[in-house]
């Protein structure tokens, strides 16, 4: 007698066992060899009500498990972390933040975490001469050192020509005490800014521009050591309408302004700046009528002037050290002049706070001030 197809089940007449069908592959097996299929569901394992053969049995799907985030570990007492500041900077010091504001106008900076000291330096704007022949006065210089904390605000105002410059902590107004900030007055007309009107730990006057009866005075330099930038030189007179230009005032701690050259028409030399490598502008001559340029805080040379040749004043040099020893910009040299020669322009004042030199028909351009903030 024929037997029904038994699939993959085994038949033992002496020990018969029940058949069962796999719910996945649909083959018949001995029922006792089929197993229940389980899988993750929710936070536990559930039976799927599927009887499957060993070949169709799936492993538990780990991606269906519910992720249970463990509780935070208890805090540690008296931790001892690595000193990463030393690893990264070598000495644990914070990087120095240097803010240099050179554009006339106002602004502010917020002190960050862990900074404790601010060094402030300011120079007022140079004067603007009312008489085109005369040299303009230089701006004064001031500094201050303040204690600061995170969240403090340092307000600044950079003066253009004929305006002061200042920095103050937490109040947007000029300081009245050195413990609040520093304030440097501007030059006015031919007069340099006076140290007595400034506020700061150290204050220095700007140099005066020269205002002779005849001739074009050189501009005054910005403030420097020994109390002042050097004054501009006097124009040399030969005839009532024929004279040489004055020497530019030396910014910083050095410089000899040109003397009254009453017997010649050559321009006077500029004053020398106080920085190593500074070069003063040379005075103009017949062969080279224009005054030479000053460098590193030195004054520009005065222009030559006689009946046939007229020279322009040399520009004052800039000095970016911003310290009390060197001062800053030198004054521009005065232009030469003559009744018949072409008109010439006075030299520009050097950055920052350098006064302009006088000119035959046009004076030079005086320099604005500056504010420097250094956080440590």
- Phi then psi for residue 225, to 5 deg, are -70, 170
CB hemisphere CA count around 171 (13 angstroms): 10
Q: Using an 8 Å Cβ cutoff, are 251 and 317 in contact?
A: yes
Is residue 363's pLDDT more than 60? yes
Is 339 a domain residue? Answer: no
% of residues, the chain, pLDDT over 70: 72
Q: For residue 123, which of 202, 236, 177 has the smallest C-alpha distance?
A: 202
255-273: average pLDDT: 55
- Phi then psi for residue 220, to 5 deg, are -75, 145
Number of domains composing the chain: 1
Task: Name which of 89-103, 112-126, 191-205 the model is least confident about.
Answer: 89-103
Residue indicated by tokens 């009946």: 307
Is 210 a domain residue? Answer: no
Is residue 218's pLDDT more than 60? no
Is residue 251's pLDDT more than 50? no
Q: What span, in angstroms and rounded, lies between the C-alpha atoms of 257 and 301?
A: 10
Is 126 a domain residue? Answer: no
Q: What span, in angstroms and rounded, lies between the C-alpha atoms of 61 and 59?
A: 6
User: What pLDDT score was predicted for residue 254?
Assistant: 37
Q: Dig out the tokens for 25 from the structure.
A: 């592959």
Helix intervals (H) in 90-204: none
Residues 43-70: pLDDT tens digits?
889 999 999 999 999 999 999 988 888 8
Is 349 a domain residue? Answer: no
Q: Give the containing element (helix H, strand E) for 86.
A: helix 84-89
Q: For residue 142, which of 206, 96, 75 has the smallest C-alpha distance?
A: 206
User: What pLDDT score was predicted for residue 264?
Assistant: 52
Is 296 a domain residue? Answer: no
Q: What span, in angstroms and rounded, lies between the C-alpha atoms of 289 and 244?
A: 10
Exposure string over 236-266, b if 16+ CB within 10 A, otherwise e: bbbeeebbbbbbbbbbbbbbbbbebbeeebb
User: What pLDDT score was predicted for residue 78?
Assistant: 85
Q: Which of 175-179, 231-235, 256-260 has the highest mean pLDDT?
A: 175-179
Is 159 a domain residue? Answer: no
Is residue 192's pLDDT more than 80? yes
Ramachandran category for residue 39: left, alpha or beta (phi over 0 → left; psi -120 to 50 → alpha): beta
**Cβ-based burial of 36 (10 A; exposed 0-12, middle 13-18, buried ≥19):** exposed
Is 114 a domain residue? Answer: no
User: What pLDDT score was predicted for residue 223?
Assistant: 54
Is 112 a domain residue? Answer: no
322 pLDDT tier (thresholds 50, 70, 90): low
Is residue 216's pLDDT more than 60? no
Q: Using an 8 Å Cβ cutoff, are 252 and 320 in contact?
A: no
Q: Give the containing element (helix H, strand E) for 372.
A: strand 370-375
| 373 to 23, 121, 139, 155, 367: CA distances (angstroms) | 81, 7, 18, 10, 20
Q: Which domain holds residue 49?
A: 19-63
The 8-class DSSP code of residue 305 comes to: B
- Phi then psi for residue 258, to 5 deg, are -65, 145
Q: Tell me the β-bridge partners of 35.
A: 52
């Amino acid at each position: 007698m024929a037997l029904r197809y038994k699939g993959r089940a085994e038949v033992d007449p002496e020990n018969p066992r029940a058949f069962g069908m796999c719910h996945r592959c649909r083959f018949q097996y001995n029922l006792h060899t089929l197993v229940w299929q389980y899988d993750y569901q929710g936070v536990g394992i559930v039976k799927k009500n599927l009887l499957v053969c060993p070949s169709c049995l799936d492993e538990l799907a780990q991606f269906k498990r519910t992720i249970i985030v463990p509780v935070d570990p208890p805090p540690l007492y008296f931790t001892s972390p690595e000193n990463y500041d030393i690893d990264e900077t070598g000495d644990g010091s914070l990087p120095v933040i240097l803010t240099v504001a050179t554009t006339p106008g106002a602004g502010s900076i917020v002190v960050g975490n862990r900074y404790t000291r601010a060094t402030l330096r300011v120079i007022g704007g140079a004067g603007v001469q009312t008489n085109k022949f005369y040299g303009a006065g230089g701006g004064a210089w001031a500094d201050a050192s303040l204690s600061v904390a995170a969240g403090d605000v340092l307000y600044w105002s950079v003066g253009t020509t004929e305006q002061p410059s200042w920095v103050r902590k937490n109040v947007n107004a000029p300081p009245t005490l050195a413990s609040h900030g520093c304030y440097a007055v501007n030059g006015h007309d031919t007069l340099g800014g006076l140290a007595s009107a400034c506020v700061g730990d150290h204050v220095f006057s700007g140099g005066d521009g020269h205002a002779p009866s005849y001739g074009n005075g050189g501009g005054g330099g910005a403030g420097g050591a020994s109390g002042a930038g050097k004054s501009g030189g006097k124009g040399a007179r030969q005839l009532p309408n024929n004279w040489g230009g004055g020497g530019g005032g030396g910014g910083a701690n050095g410089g000899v302004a040109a003397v009254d050259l009453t017997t010649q028409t050559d321009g006077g030399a500029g004053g020398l700046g106080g920085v190593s490598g500074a070069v003063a502008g040379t005075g103009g001559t017949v062969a080279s009528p224009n005054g030479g340029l000053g460098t590193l805080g030195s004054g520009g040379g005065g222009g030559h002037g006689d009946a046939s040749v007229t020279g322009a004043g040399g520009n004052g040099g800039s000095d970016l050290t911003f310290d009390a020893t060197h001062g800053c910009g030198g004054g521009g040299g005065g232009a030469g002049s003559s009744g018949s020669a072409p008109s010439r322009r006075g030299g520009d004042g050097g950055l920052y706070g350098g006064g302009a030199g006088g000119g035959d028909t046009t004076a030079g351009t005086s320099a604005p001030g500056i504010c420097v903030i250094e956080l440590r």
